[in-house]
Structure 1
C-alpha cells in the first residue's frame, strides 16, 4: 500500500517515535471518504468536520485547500492503481509534546492519507440487529467528531461478532438511542423521520447532515430526538446511513420491520 504522510509518499509502513501521541493517547481525528466512479464524495463536508474537530482539540488546521486535498487523494488512488471506487482514510494526530503526560504542548499534526478498494452500493438490507450492552456512549465536546480513540466502537463490533449480529444499536449512559457501530440511525413513523440528537453522544455524520438538509428542503419532516429503545418498536421502518450507503433493518431483537417505505426510498433516490 502506498500512502501520503506529512508531505511525502510512503509504502507499506511509517516510522513513529515512541512518544507519538496518536499511539500513546489516541490524540487525533479521522475521516472515511468514499470515492465513487472516480469522484470524491462530500469532500468539502469531510474537510469542514475535521477542521472543526481540530479547532476543538487545539490543533492547527490542515494545510490543504479542498482542491489540494482532492489532488492528494487522487494521487494516492493512482499510486495504488485504484481506478474508480475507493474508501479513503484521512487521519490527523498531534505531534509529540515537549513533556510527558496528557497535557499537549504541540499544535502541529501528523497527516496520513491511505486508500483501499471499495465495492459501491446504494442500499442493502441487514437481517440481524440488536442493542449493544458492552459499552454506552457519552456526550462531550468531541463526541460529534470521529476520533482515533474509537474503543467504544471496537468493543461494540466485537460484541456484534460474538452475538452473530450484522449491527448493533448503541445507547448512551442514560439509556437513549444514539447510533449504530459505523452509521447514524433513523426511523420513520407515518411520514415523519426521526434521528437521535447530538446530545445523545452520536457522531455528527456527513450523511446524517446531508439527509437532514434534504428533508428540510424537499422531503418529509425530520426531528432530532432523545428516544428510549421502546420508541423504535413504534416505527414503520428503521435504517442507518453513512457515506457508503443505507442499511435497512429487517429485524431488531427478532422483531420484524418493513424494508420498504416511500419516504425512505425518496431519501435513497436523492442521495444515490
Structure 2
C-alpha cells in the first residue's frame, strides 16, 4: 500500500513520523475521512472547509487546497488501484519545542492513506444502544474532528466489537447527542429531528448533506435539545457518516423501527445515491 507523507508517495512500511511531533505528544491534529467513488472524492470541499477551520483553531499554519487534496487522492487511487476507497487525510502540528507551545505551528505533518471501500447497493441496518458513558464537552468552543478521540474509543470499549450496533451518546445533562462514529436522526409526524450543534456534537459533513437533501425534498428539519423520551413516538431512526452513508435503525432498546422499509430513510438514501458520484459540495444543492 502506498501512502502520502509530507510531499512523498512511499510504501506504508516506510512511513515514519517523529515522536516529537506535537500531534503525538499532545494530540494536536485534525483529520477527515473522505469516500471516493470511481476516484471521485465526494463532498471534498465540505471536508476541506472543516479541516482548514480546525487547523486555524489549533494554530497550525497550513491550508489544504482542493487542488492539493485532489492531486494526492487521485494519485493514491491510481498507485493503489483503489478507485473506491475510504481516504483519511491527517494534518498534525509537526515538530515543536518541548512543553505546550503558544506560538503557531509552521511545519505540520501531512499524512494521507486509503483503505478499500466496497460500496453497498442497499442500506445496512443498525441497532442503536444508549451508552452509559456521557459525551464529553468539546476541548474548544466547538467539537473538532481532532486526534483527541479517547471519549469515542472508551465508548467503543463499552459497546464491544458487534459491528451491527452503534452506541449513542447522551450529554451529561441527559440530552441525545450523537453516535460513536455517526450523527443521529429520527422522524416524527413528517419532520426530521436531530440534536443541535450546541449539544457538543460534531458538525458532520454527511449530516449537513442530509439536511440539505431534506430541504430540497421539502421535508422540515428541526434541531434542538432532546431527551431520549422523544424517541418513544419516533417513526424512523437513522444514522449518518461519510462511510456508512445512511444507516437505518431497526431496534433501539425494546422498540423496533421500520429500518430499511422506512419511507423517509428510503427517499433520502435514493437521493444520496443520485448525487454521490459527482458533488464536490453540499452547497451545490442550494443553486
Normalising by structure 2, what TM-score? Answer: 0.87
Q: Hey, what does 2:22 align to over in structure 1?
A: 21
Query: 2-side partners of 1:7 and 1:213: how far apart?
Result: 35
C-alpha distance 20-61 of structure 1, shift in aligned 2 (>3 A): closer
Partners of 2:238 and 2:18 in 1: CA distance: 42
Residue by residue over 1:61-110, the C-alpha shift from the partner in whole angstroms, topping out at 9 and shown as x without a partner, is 32x4312211110111222221x310000000101222x22234342211
RMSD between aligned residues: 1.8
1:139/1:106 CA distance change after superposition, 3 Å: closer
Checking the alignment, whether the CA contact within 8 Å between 2:206 and 2:241 is kept in structure 1 is yes
Aligned pairs for 1:54-203 (under 5 A) are 54-62=55-63, 64-82=64-82, 84-98=83-97, 100-108=98-106, 109-121=108-120, 123-126=123-126, 128-141=127-140, 143-161=142-160, 166-203=165-202
The alignment partner of 2:125 has SS state of strand
Aligned to 1:258: 258
C-alpha spacing 1:216/1:110, structure 2 compared with 1 (3 Å): same
Please list every run of 5 or more consecutive structure 2 residues that lacks an aligned counterpart in the other structure.
274-287
CA contact (8 A) 1:130 1:165 kept: no
Seen in structure 2, the aligned counterparts of structure 1 residues 163 and 119 have a Cα distance that, compared at 3 Å, is closer
Give the stretch that moved more between structures: 101-110 or 203-212: 101-110
Q: Tell whether the 8 Å contact from 1:169 to 1:179 is kept in structure 2 after alignment.
A: yes
Q: Is the 8 A contact 1:95 1:106 kept in 2?
A: no
Q: CA–CA distance in 1 between the matches of 2:150 and 2:139?
A: 15
State the shift of 1:163 in Å.
7.8
Q: Distance in 2 between matches of 1:48 and 1:77?
A: 22
TM-score, normalization by structure 1: 0.92
Instruction: Report the counterpart of residue 38 of structure 1 in structure 2.
Output: 39
- Alpha-carbon deviation of 1:140? 4.9
Question: Cα–Cα, structure 1 residues 165 and 138, in superposed 2: closer, same or farther, change >3 Å?
Answer: farther
| 2: CA distance, partners of 1:217 / 1:120 | 25
What displacement does 1:162 show? Answer: 6.5
Does the C-alpha gap of structure 1 residues 204 and 4 become closer, same or farther in structure 2, counting only changes over 3 Å?
A: same
Q: Following the alignment from structure 2 to structure 1, what is the Cα–Cα distance between the partners of residues 55 and 102? A: 13
The Cα of 1:165 is off from its aligned counterpart by 6.3
Match of 1:218 in 2: 217
Partner residue in 1 for 2:231: 232
Separation in structure 2 between the aligned mates of residue 68 and residue 27 of structure 1, nearest angstrom = 22
